A and B are shown apart, each in its own frame.
Chain A
Amino acid sequence: MRQGRLIATGAMLAFCLFALWQSLLLSLTDRLGPGPGFFPFWLALVGIVLAIALLIETAREPRDPPSSESSESSDTRILPHGAGGLRWLAIVVLLAAATAAMSMVGFRIAMLIFNAGLLVALGERRWWAIALFAVLGSFGVYYVFTTWLDVLLPTGWLGI
């Protein structure tokens, strides 16, 4: 946990330093008053001070006690692992793949594959239930939202 917090705070410090550099490329003041860089500059500066203070505070905390693989609960580990990690990965990868594919194959096809794939990855094995949910959650949802609610959803190269 301590190590994870140090890395996360370090990343936030880097973000604030980057924001400070970017804000300096904008004008801090102009003839009318504060410029576009004024507010982000001061925010980034405050963020840097806070991040450094938090880094020092976290570094002073006692180190995490070493624990065996078996006794370590999932809550104390930062990154996903084991079977839960695979489910985690399935959600992220399938969602990313569906988003990437949506502009090419459209909402219906992308979500049809996403729904079926995710249900299988999360443990569903009844093929008829998977097929029914996948179709309703893609073609059915598309119909309801575009026809009844006038929400525009992506269509692909084939017009589907």
Chain B
Amino acid sequence: MEALTHLLQGFAAALSLNYLLFALAGCLLGTLIGVLPGLGPAAGTAILIPLTFNLDATGAIIMLCAIYYGAMYGGTITSVLINVPGEAASVVTCIDGHQMARQGRAGSALGIAAIGSFVGGTLATVALVAVAMPLASLALKFGPAEFFALMVAGLCLVVGLAGSNMLAALLMTAIGLLLAMIGVDPVRGAPRFTFGFEELFDGIGFVPVVMGLFGVAELLLAAEKRQTHMVSAELKSWMPTRQECRQSAGAIGRGTVVGFVLGLIPGVGAIVPTFMAYVLEKRVSKTPERFGKGAIEGVASAETANNAYANASMVPLLALGIPSSPTIAVLMGAFIVNGITPGPFLFKEQPALVWTVIASFFVGNALLLILNLPLVGLWAKLLKVPFSYMCTGILIFCVIGAYSLKQNLFDVWVMLGFGILGYLLRKLDFPLAPAILALILGPMMERSLRTTLEISGGSFAIFLDRPLALALLAVPVIVGGFLLFKPRSLSPLRTSDAE
């Protein structure tokens, strides 16, 4: 009840003209930044922090949170229209979203993404208000063993996603994990596989790799096929049909739950809930063969989980002072720059600020829906741009995106190299999704496993003593068994679809 009273006071402040304008500006700038390939929420939020220096602390945080949500949706636009994920979490949206665009249903895909994002974000914020503290305490009980088991389960589900050739998917996972080992050892601090290159001390950058494997590779494939446009489809409507809304309702509900629950666990990252929601949707679907070929539920589940995760990831930050993703870490930095220390004391010492910010999450989600549904048509006009201009324009932003994170031309070379590699692997039907997830999760997996083994004195029996970890480790066994003995009616997802 106390929370509700505080929330109402927060709404009164968040709906004032100043804060509404900050939220609006944040949503627009965030969407704009999100549309640029490579400049995802983390880079976009960091770049735009200086814009908030002249604002009061509450206004600055409201604007930065709106930039974060806007950038998440902006990534969706490029995923659907040109198959280039604006940020990591939009990788899954490419699978069905771009197929929908190719079928002339880009408007439906973007519309359902906006609706799913709104519903997921709003419901997740309601849940945040209601159960923030108890759920955060539960997430705190996760030890390194549970983290490791969770990541193994996540990777296993992704391998299941690329189920046409399990061996190829598993090999790509191993390659992705090995690539993630490049850089300074996360536990001892010793350099590994760097061969004296200073540029490799921080590891291979995720952004250049993703931009190469997805962005540059897509352009190389399109250029070879003499495409005059990235997609030839026409936008007939910017609203999903009634049937499409009905089809997506369940996916939106399940995506909200998956996104919210995983958003509470620090370190999981936005890509895991989107993958998990997508896989869950494919598993529960009566027609799983449609996934990868333009199933609207695939877009709805991933986008809803993405936004629910984004809102839920505020729980560890606000209640415990723990950033659960790079973007949240940037936001935490912005809090500190503005003289606010996130954590349990925040609710006691600055209730007005924290509840205004929480209320602004609702406002920001509503603004994004109001802005993005009518603007879908404007974004979809990108389809009309000739390929030569689209290709050159995307490459300009890819170069900037790869370079700007570390101000390093080495990352542009990495992007180009992975672009050629991605082109070849896609032609040879090797799934890229497991390698991408492995590259992100690799350092966290290693840290969790080594910490677990240090605690147990090197004994793997520790996993038997942790029921939750054991249950999570059962997922690979269940998935493996399912793939081996699945009914014939469930034809596997084609490798190319898994991309």
A-to-B contact residues, CB < 8 Å: 1, 4-5, 8-9, 12, 15-16, 19, 22-23, 26, 29-30, 32-40, 43-44, 46-47, 50-51, 53-54, 57, 74-75, 78, 80, 83-85, 87-88, 90-92, 95-96, 98-99, 102-103, 111, 114-115, 118-119, 122-124, 133, 137-138, 141, 145, 149-154
Contact = CB atoms under 8 A, between A and B. Distances in A.
Interface in B389-424: 389, 391-393, 395-396, 399-400, 403-404, 407, 409, 412-413, 416, 419-420, 423-424
A115 B429 CA distance: 31
Given A36-B185, A78-B427, A43 B450 contact: no
Given A4-B428, A53-B167, A123-B388, A153 B395 contact: no
B428 A78 contact: yes
Given A8-B430, A29-B458, A39-B181, A95 B416 contact: yes
23 contacts: A1-B428, A8-B430, A15-B178, A22-B192, A34-B454, A38-B450, A39-B181, A40-B178, A43-B181, A47-B178, A51-B171, A92-B220, A95-B399, A99-B412, A99-B416, A102-B412, A103-B409, A115-B396, A118-B391, A119-B389, A123-B388, A138-B396, A153-B400
B126 interface: no
B453 interface: yes
Contacts of A133: 389, 392
Contacts of B190: 26, 36
Contact of A50 (B174, B425, B449): B174
B450 A33 contact: yes
A118 B388 CA distance: 8
B396 A87 contact: no
A145 B476 CA distance: 45
B225 interface: yes
- Please classify the interface of chain B as helix (H, G, I), strand (E, B), loop, or mixed, using the class held by over half of its residues: helix
Contact of A33 (B429, B445, B453): B453
Nearest to A50: B171
Nearest to B391: A122
Contacts of A16: 174-175, 178
Question: Which 6 pairs from chain A and chain B are nearest by CB?
Answer: A122-B388, A47-B174, A84-B224, A33-B454, A36-B185, A87-B223
Contacts of A153: 400, 403-404
Interface string B216-240: 1001100111100000000000000
A74 B225 CA distance: 7
A114 B398 CA distance: 13
Contacts of B419: 92
A100 to B, nearest CB: 9
A105 to B, nearest CB: 12
A8 B425 contact: yes
B36 to A, nearest CB: 10
Given A34-B450, A47-B175, 16 more contacts: A4-B428, A26-B192, A34-B453, A36-B187, A38-B450, A40-B193, A50-B170, A54-B167, A78-B428, A80-B220, A84-B225, A91-B216, A122-B391, A137-B392, A145-B404, A149-B47
B348 interface: no
Nearest to B50: A150
Interface string B230-256: 000000000000000000000000000
Nearest to B392: A118
A124 B388 contact: yes
Contacts of A88: 220, 223-224, 423
B399 A99 contact: yes
Given A34-B454, A87-B223, A141 B396 contact: yes
Interface string B3-35: 000000000000000000000000000000000
B446 A39 contact: yes
B168 interface: yes
